[in-house]
Structure 1
Amino acid sequence: MYMKYYLLFFLIGVIFSFGCNSSKKDQKGIFIGGQIMNPNNPYFVLSKGTKTIDTLFLDQNNQFGKKLENLEPGIYSFTHPPENQIMYLEPGDSILVWLNTMQFDESLNFSGPGSSKSSFLLEMFLSNEQNNDMMLSYYKINPTKFAGITDSIKKSRRNKLNTLNEKEQFSEAFRELAYNTINYDFYHLRERYTFLVKKYYNELAQQIPDDFNSYRKDLNFNNSQLKEYYGYLNFIEDHLRTRSIENCLDNFDTNSNCFELHSVPNIRYRINLADSLIEKEEIKSIFINRLAIQGITFSDNAEKIDGILNILKEIKFNGEKLPELQEMAKIQKRLLPGNNIGELPLINFKDEMVRLKDISNKPIVTYHWSLDVPEHYKWQHDIIRSLKEKYPELEFVGINIDKGSKQAWKNIVKAYNMDQTREYKLSTIDIDINLLKNYLNKLIFLDSRGNIINGKAQLNTPNFERQILEFLNN
């Protein structure tokens, strides 16, 4: 706590100097400073979209600060790898960022002139995280009652924004953006509910009022101001998914395959829908790329993989990610059932080289993780621990996919009490690490000789344990 106040007094002096010594023209700049407790690395990266604006390095007190010129108003993302968040910046702002990497989002605090905008977006993010948990139970309730809950959430957020605006006198640009974030978070809840009840509770689905999704007539899929906002992107992704299911249920007598979200017909429908609804290329490419990756990585034969690439040809997709998607197709073809990856070289915790097939005489299930995605590997390893106890006849093998970072990998294994005897690191990586990250949710089932039996299992799917039992029985 002392260090937090020390930072505040230190940076107040910087901001005061910045304000007193700057002309009105200079006030168009933006000051960003802060302190990171328990830093993972010595820098703080500010970005907009895929463009890095600046990298600010921490000093001996883990503090940073810099005045930036010629930044347009809008949402920016900042990264202290492996974590990231967003903030809203406008000329004249002087934002102080304080966080502790041990609880990145929960500890994050913005202060200084103009910081209330970023604080509002952060509060919405944390509320959305709680709403994600809420959905696990609330999607089972009557749709009219669920509509009332979501209406209440939207009203509460609007009231919060209006109260803040009376005090802060936000710019028109931020007010418009903030109202839009509230709306699209609300739409996202409605879309998720629609999908879940149609998949799991058909009786409730039949009770959905006609006006439940009436907001759809007012949607804007080309809002460049929101393309940095995770809630907007999450909404579009779920909207495309729900529309694909509705189209299938409306046009086929049986719904047995309608919820196969990674099937070629489903991916084709969603890609074509994205292509027709979204005009802004920078937004359209995000979703076509995501959908193509889903289709490729969950294909279980070469024909399906080629089918996904053919969809891209049909719409004449030529985005900057196309070469990566073509490379993904090659990777996936090497991971299809029947192929052998037993010779895969790995490094164990003693820095010894081993081959995957030599790890155990048991059937093997590999799971994969990266230091860059801490929430994923924490969640993943909790599940793996219980699976190891439940299925001792299987060998669960963890594979870290990061290049280098051997000591960092060992530190995480120790810190989270992972099984050091069954945690390994890829020895040589000749594939783009960003492509490998698309496989973090997948597990690969192999026989003791390294032959792939199942290459598309996912930890977070309802039929995962059924796939384990089928694997054992075969």
Structure 2
Amino acid sequence: MKYPQSLIIFSVFLLYACNHSQDSGDNIYIGGQIVNPHTHYVILSQNERNLDTLFLNQKNQFGKQYENLEEGIYTLRHNPEDQVMYVEPGDSVLVWLNTLQFDKSMNFSGVGSAKSSFLLDMLLNNQENNKLILSYYKFNPEKFSRVTDSIREQRRELLANLKDKHDFSENFIDIANTVIDYEYYDLRERYTFLIKKYNTQFSDEIPENFHNYRSKIDFNNEALQDYKVYTNLIDNYLRSKSIENCRTSEGLDRSCFELGDYTNIRRRIVLIDSLTSLPYMKNDFLDRLVTRGIIMSKNQDRVDSILNVLDNIDYRKENEAKDLAEIHTNYFEGTSVQNKKLINTAREQVTYDDVITKPTVVFIWSMYAPSHYKWQHNNIKTLRKKYPELNFIGVNIDQNETENWLRVISNNNYNKDYEYQISSREVSKEVFRKYIHKIFFINPRGIIVDGDAKLYNPDFETELLEFLNQ
């Protein structure tokens, strides 16, 4: 792996300082450098606990020696993004990253850094699987099993080779092997969902023992609850099980596969509540599911249905859910946004009435979900060329952060003619940010004709054409 010269120089300095610290044998040193920082600090956390704030110096460097950190996974947060690292007493881990490509640019170096590098590589592999699975689900179950068995074996061989070169603890080896298995399980969950929905001719060929691994999933793995390879597996397991439960209780039809449908979301809410007793992880999943259930609801009855299921669940953000439900009533299909105010990139206040001159697709985004907004804009750019009859505009919801918003637009070369920011909001920033998955189809009179479209849906372009032909 190639390291920037600035990091090499920085690493030599910090390792020298660390190695000469008094009684440093059982201490842990964490330091690094951030290129194009978003803020002047990074936060070290574990699960939901913020342990320390490390401020950047004039060279955007940070570093600190810790005496009492236990071995395990920690998260280094540099808003709006974060990444996990694994440290144990005696480690001196240095991080270098460029925020323009947060995960892909990240490098770990120093004593004990191989553990963090392995977890990062596994995360990047997990992200790449998003693309690979689109080919894998076209395989029959037997061929799919051979391919994924081979992938798991490659991961195990890599870990064995790293273990020969580095003095990994038994605890890390156990975690690393679990992560390899969980990636493998995750591929099976994704495959199950996709062939049942899109490739049904293979559905009946799934052998009875295909999901035997499910009994090995630990839904209360406290050490991994901040690691996306683990939480992605649970997320995809919930999807698959919600469909199986739909088949059992309601008779399987195409609606069972509508993940944005409130009945599907209700099933997943009840399921995650029954599966895990970890408050942090449970509430994180509940937050996502409740949010989606509310903002995808087409009427008040469906909103109430989501809120009612929370009566028997310990969900700490229930008041936020009620706030979100209240604001969502302003965005039901058939309501007008004509007079709602926006700010354009010239910092002028305008209304939707000023902006909408033809059928318009509005997508909501936040700077605090960078991977999501980049994915959104890339897809919208393609659609904008393909459907010139439509107007596609992005509405950023990070009110009062105009300078940062304009900087993101400039850094990513987004077309300023299509970018706006909300001028006011009725609820807290945290609540409003839950709208980042929303797509609105708005007619030239400023009336919402569809608020349930999903950009990731394979049928999205069909929905666009139906909107055009109304």
> Is the shorter-chain TM-score for this pair beyond 0.5, marking a shared fold?
yes
Q: 2:373 aligns with which of 374, 377, 387?
A: 377
Once the two structures are superposed, the pairs formed by residues 260-299 of structure 1 within 5 Å of their partners are 260-299=258-297
> Which residue of the partner structure matches residue 14 of structure 1?
17
Amino acid at match of 1:294: R
**Does 1:76 pair with 2:57?**
no
**Residues 156-165 or 202-211, more deviating:** 156-165
Given candidates 395, 400, 405, the residue that maps to 2:396 is: 400
Give the corresponding residue for 1:110. 108
1:4 shift after superposition = 2.2
TM-superposed CA distance for 1:301, in Å, is 0.9
Q: Which residue of 1 aligns with 2:422?
A: 426
Q: CA deviation at 1:251?
A: 4.5
Deviations 1:365-403 (A, max 9, x none): 211222222322222222222322333332222211113
Q: Equivalents in 1 of 2:268, 2:259: separation in Å? A: 10
Residue 100 of structure 2 is aligned to residue 99 of structure 1? no
Q: What's the CA shift for 1:134? A: 0.8
Report 1:164-179 matches (<5 A): 164-179=162-177
Deviation at 1:29, TM superposition (A): 3.0
Rounded Cα–Cα distance in structure 1 between residues aligned with 2:415 and 2:38: 23
**Counterpart for residue 463 of structure 2:** 467
Question: Which 10-residue stretch deviates more, 385-394 or 126-135?
Answer: 385-394
After superposition, the Cα gap between the structure-2 partners of 1:103 and 1:169, relative to the gap in structure 1 and judged at 3 Å, is same
1:192 offset after TM fit, Å? Answer: 0.4
TM-score, length-normalised on structure 2?
Answer: 0.94
Q: CA deviation digits over 1:74-96, x for unaligned, max 9?
A: 21111222332110122222111
In 2, Cα distance between the equivalents of 1:303 and 1:458? 21
Task: Answer yes or no: is 1:146 the counterpart of 2:144.
Answer: yes
Show the counterpart of 2:454: 458
Shift of 1:262: 2.6
3-state secondary structure, aligned to 2:13 = helix
Structure 2 residue aligned with 1:213: 211
Question: What does residue 415 of structure 1 align with?
Answer: 411
Q: What is the rounded CA distance, in whole Å, between the counterparts of 1:34 and 1:256 in structure 2?
A: 50
Bigger shift: 99-108 or 457-466? 99-108
2:384 maps to which residue? 388
Cα distance between partner residues in 1 of 2:167 and 2:214 = 31
The alpha carbon displacement at 1:136 in A equals: 1.3
CA contact (8 A) 2:122 2:229 kept: no
Partner of 1:182: 180
1:310-366 CA-partner distances (Å, limit 9, x unpaired): 1111xx223222111121211222211122222211111221111111213323221
361-370 or 278-287: which moved more? 278-287
Structure 1 range deviating more: 454-463 or 361-370? 361-370
Q: Which runs of 5+ in 1 are unaligned?
A: none
Mapped to 2, the partners of 1:421 and 1:11 lie a distance apart of 46
Q: Which runs of 4+ in 1 moved over 6 A?
A: none
Matched, 1:341 2:344: no
Following the alignment from structure 2 to structure 1, what is the Cα–Cα distance between the partners of residues 380 and 130? 23
TM-score by length of 1: 0.93
For residues 464 and 187 of structure 1, what CA distance do their matches in structure 2 show?
Answer: 29
Partner secondary structure for residue 124 of structure 1? helix
CA-CA distance at 1:254 after TM superposition: 4.8
Deviation at 1:48, TM superposition (A): 1.3
Deviations 1:152-211 (A, max 9, x none): 111221222222223323222212211111111111011000110011111111111222
CA–CA distance in 1 between the matches of 2:404 and 2:150? 45
**Inter-partner Cα distance in structure 2 for 1:284 and 1:422:** 38
Residues 34-72 of structure 1: CA distance to partner in whole angstroms, max 9, x if unpaired? 112233332222111222111211112221111123223
Q: What's the offset of the Cα at 1:99?
A: 1.7
Match for 1:231 among 224, 229, 247? 229
Task: Say if 1:366 and 1:12 are closer, same or farther in 2 by CA, change over 3 A.
Answer: same
| The one of 116, 119, 123 aligned to 2:117 | 119
Unaligned runs of 5+ in 2: none
